[in-house]
Amino acid sequence: EEFSLAVRAAALLANNALQDPSDPAWRRLRSSNGALWERLGDEGFRLLEACGYEREAADHEVFWVLPADVPRRHLASAVRVLRAAADHGQEWLREELASAAAAAAAAAAQRPAPPTERQPNRPRASDLHGDH
């Protein structure tokens, strides 16, 4: 029940920020807001972080801020995943995240390694001692 409430609240906040990006009420959330904590809890704030929100300390308070440069498509995708998680549950979300992480790791493994900086040829010890 707590997970479902946290996911639904995070989806609602992220969707509101997506639908009305100019409204600071959805882009800057005060973590000391009791009603917000009651609905989100630690897990919900982690979900908001996955949506692109960042923790920011200002004036002796902590805020969760959605930067203006977070792509709308990222936020829209996050909202879709959160809504699906609310419908399918926590285990489904864990499986989806594990699957996505495995796919990302497989894709990274298939990318060619970046070129390494070539070290200049260093003289061998025998070159320094005239042992040839």
The pLDDT score that the predictor gives to residue 125 is 57
Residue 109 confidence (pLDDT) above 70: yes
Alpha-carbon distance 81 to 40, whole Å?
Answer: 16
pLDDT category, 118, cuts 50, 70, 90? low
Residue 6: CB partners within 8 Å, gap ≥ 6?
A: 39, 40, 41, 43, 44, 47
pLDDT tens string 37-52: 999 998 899 899 989 9
Shortest CA distance to 63 belongs to which of 13, 102, 100? 13
Element (H, E) at 95: helix 90-110
pLDDT tens string 9-44: 999 999 999 999 999 999 999 988 999 999 999 889
Alpha-carbon distance 88 to 85, whole Å?
Answer: 5
